[in-house]
A and B are shown apart, each in its own frame.
Chain A
C-alpha cells in the first residue's frame, strides 16, 4: 500500500448551500488526478478540504491510513498552487521559494541550495533576485509551482493554476507541470473547469456536478464512455435526443424522428422503462450530400434529411449546424472531406446515425 489519500463520504455544507455531497474518492500515491466541472460544482471546496482550509461537515479524510480531519494545514505538508499565484509581492523570487523551508527552520545554506535547484528545474535561475511583480504571468506561476514544491510536499494541490494565463503559455506550462510530476513522482490533485486541460494532463479525471461525482475514469473513457448525460454534455460536444424506447427504437419527442439503436448500446441501460436520453458525438454522425451516396448495407431508418444552416471552420475539422425540423444538430467532418463534398450553407443533406455510436442514459436515477 502506498500513501493513498482517501475521502470517505465527505459532505460540506455552507449555511444553505451544499457544496459537496457524500463524496468517496481514493487517490493513489504518485497519481495525477483532475477535478473537472463547471463553477460551483464543489471541486475547489473538495480541494480546500484536502488542504485543510475547510472542515468537512461530515465524512473522513484519510491519508496514509491516518484520519487527518483535525490536522492543521501547516502540518499536512501538502503544497498548494493558487489560481492567483499568491506570491508574496514584498519578497524576492528566492525568498518566496525558500519561505516554506524558512518556516521549518532549515539552515540557510540548505535553503539556498534547494532554491537554486528548483529555479534551475523551471529555468528561472536568472530571475532569482527579482520581485514577483517584475515577472510575467507564466514566470510567476512557475515560481508559485516550485515554491509549493520546496518543502518536499507529499501531495501537490493545484487550484485552477493556469486559468489566469494566455492560451499558449497555458499549454506550455501544462506540459511543464506534467513533466515535473513524472520526474518527482509526486501525487498531484488538479482542479480545472477546462476539459482539454483535464483530459490532456491527468491519469484519472473526476467529473463533478452540483456537489456530486458524476464519473471517475481515465480521460479517454470519460470522453468515449460518459456514464451520465451530464458528462456527455460537459466533456466534449454531444447531440441529444430524448423519448421512450420501443423495441430497439427511440422516437425523439421534439422532432418525432425515430432512431434504431444497437443492442450493445441498449444493454448499458438498467431499465428501458420511462424517458431515456440518447446522445451522439458530432464526429460520429455521417454527412452525405444525397441519400443515394449512402452505402446500401446500412439501416435506412437512421437516415434523416436536414439542411446546413451555419458552417464554421475549426482548423482540422469543419463544424456544421444542421437544421433538423425544429432542432439543431452539430456535425463535424474533416476539412478535407468537407472540401471534397462541395457542400455549402443552405444545402439540404442526408445524415446517417450509426446505431452503435449512440450512448443512452436513464433520465432519472442515473447517478450511482
Chain B
C-alpha cells in the first residue's frame, strides 16, 4: 500500500441530497394522482350532488324514483351474488383438484384456466351468443327456444370471466394450508367427506372469502359482458352507460356511479382484509408429501377439471371458429346442413371496412398499449422503489393513494375523466387521456408487485451503493434496476395486456378519431356483426397470447422466470 494517495479522487458529483430527490418524486406522483385520480372522482361526486351551484339530492331521488333505473341496483346485486357463489365453489373444487389430488395434466388445466385473463371481458358473452343466441350454433342444432339474453347469460359469462382470478387465490391458499390436519382427521376416524367439509374448507376460509369478494367486485363492475348479453336486463354498469351515451344525462350517470362505487369499494376492502388474514394463516405451514388419491377421488376431480377447462376451451374455440367460417349457425331446422357450413371457411369477417369499421383500431390499440406498458412499468417501478426503499415523509400517503385505483370501477374513473377534462384540449378524446387512464386504473397491481420485489432486495444493498458515492438516480439505475428486471418485465407484460383488453375503463374515452380494438368488438356486436366481433376478438387474443409467449421464450432463455 505504498501508493496509497496516488489516485486523485474528486468527491462524487451529486449536488442534490437523496432525501430531497425522494421528496420531489413523491410530490410529482402526488400531483399526478391528484390530477388523474382524485380530481375525476371529485367531479363524479360533484356532478351527482351539485346542481346549479347548490347541493342537491335530486339525482338520487330521480334514480330511486324511476322503477326501471332503480331495478339496476337489485339486478347488479342479484347477478353478482349468484356469480360469486357459483364461481367460488367451482374455483374451489378445481383448486382442490390441482393442489390436493394426484390427478394428471394439472399444468394443462392450470394454463387453460388462466386463458380468460388474456381476453377482453366480452368474449365470454360473445361465445355464448354465437353458441346459444337466437341464431347460435347449438340453438339451431337442437332447435332450442331459449333466450340467452338476460340475467342467465350475464351470470354464465361472468362465471368464466371471474373464474381465473378466484382460482389463483384458492390455489395459493390450498397449496399452503397444512395437509397434515387432514391426515390427523383421517387417522382419528373421519371419512373423506367429513374431512373435506370439517377440515379442508374451514382452514381455507379466508382464501374462500377473499376469492368471493374479488369475484363480486369483478362482476358488479364489469361492463363488457352485460352490455352485449344483458338485453333489457340492466345492471348498474350498463345503466351508467345508457344514461351517459344514450340520454346525455351525465348527472344521472355520475349518480349511478356513486351508487356502484359503494358495493365495489366494500368488496375491494373485504378482499384486502381477507387476503391479509389468509396470508397470516398460511405462511410457514409445512407441506408434506401428497399421498396418491383414491381412484374414485381422481375420477371425480378429473371430471370437474375437464368440465371447467373444457368449457373455457369451447368459449375460445367458438370465437375462433365463428370468425373463420363463411356462415355460422345457419337457419333453424336445417341441422343437416350445419356440418357443411362449419367446414366452409372464409376470411370475409376479417374485412372490417365492409362492416363500417377499420382494421386500424388494432394498430391504435397496439401502440397505445406499448406506451402504457412503457410508462406504466417505469412509473410503478420508481414509485415502488421510493416508497419501499427510501421511505420519505409522505411515502405512506403515496402508497395508500396508489392502492385506490384497484377499488374504483374502470367505468366510473372513465366517466370522471370525461367530466373533469372536457375543457382540456390535449386530453379530451385524445390518445393521451386513454393512456393516462389505463396506467392509473392498473397502477395498483404494478406498484404492489414492484414493492414485493423491493422487499426481497436487501436494504444494505441500497445503502452500500449510497456509501460508495452513488446518489439516488445512480443507485436506481446501476443497482436497483438490474436487480428488478424480473418484476420489471412482468409488469411490462401486465400493463400491455391490461391495455389491450380493457373495455370499461376506456368506453367513455374513445371517439371516432381514437378507437380501440376491444371497444370495436362491442360496437360490432351492437351492429349485429357477431362473426366480425369474433374476428376482432380473435385478433386481440392472438396478439396478447403472442406477446406473452414471446416474453416467455425470450426470458426463459435468459434464465428469468415470468408469471
Contact = CB atoms under 8 A, between A and B. Distances in A.
Interface of A: 51, 53, 72-75, 77-80, 82-90, 99-101, 103-106, 110, 114, 117, 121, 144, 147-148, 151-152, 183-184
A147 B469 CA distance: 12
B458 A110 contact: no
A96 B271 CA distance: 44
Interface stretch (B88-96, B459-467, B497-505): B459-467
A237 B374 CA distance: 62
Given A73-B18, A183-B1, 9 more contacts: A74-B471, A77-B11, A78-B467, A79-B467, A80-B463, A84-B458, A89-B483, A106-B9, A147-B468
Interface in B432-478: 458, 460-461, 463-471, 474, 478
B460 A84 contact: yes
A152 B5 contact: yes
B469 A152 contact: no
A82 B479 CA distance: 16
21 contacts: A72-B17, A74-B466, A79-B467, A80-B463, A82-B463, A82-B464, A85-B460, A86-B463, A88-B461, A88-B465, A88-B482, A99-B470, A103-B12, A104-B12, A106-B9, A114-B7, A147-B464, A148-B468, A151-B468, A152-B4, A152-B7
Contacts of A82: 460, 463-464
Interface string B191-231: 00000000000000000000000000000000000000000
B549 interface: no
B463 A110 contact: no
Contacts of B18: 72-74
A86 B461 contact: yes
Contacts of A87: 464
Contacts of A78: 467
B453 to A, nearest CB: 14
B218 to A, nearest CB: 38
B467 A80 contact: yes
Contact residues on B (Cβ < 8 Å of other chain), bracket: 20 to 34
A51 to B, nearest CB: 6
A116 to B, nearest CB: 12
Nearest to A144: B464
A195 to B, nearest CB: 24
A99 B11 contact: no
A79 B18 CA distance: 18
A103 B483 CA distance: 18
Closest 7 CB pairs of A and B: A86-B460, A100-B468, A103-B469, A86-B464, A82-B460, A80-B467, A90-B482
Contacts of B12: 74-75, 103-104
A225 B357 CA distance: 92
B105 interface: no
Contact of B467 (A51, A101, A104, A114): A51
Contacts of A110: 7
Contact of B469 (A74, A84, A144): A74
A350 B12 CA distance: 68
Contacts of B471: 74
Interface string B473-491: 0100011001100000000
B187 interface: no
A80 B460 CA distance: 10
Contacts of B17: 72
Interface in B7-52: 7, 9-14, 17-18
Contacts of B4: 152, 184
Contacts of A51: 463, 467
Nearest to A76: B467
B13 to A, nearest CB: 7
B482 A104 contact: no
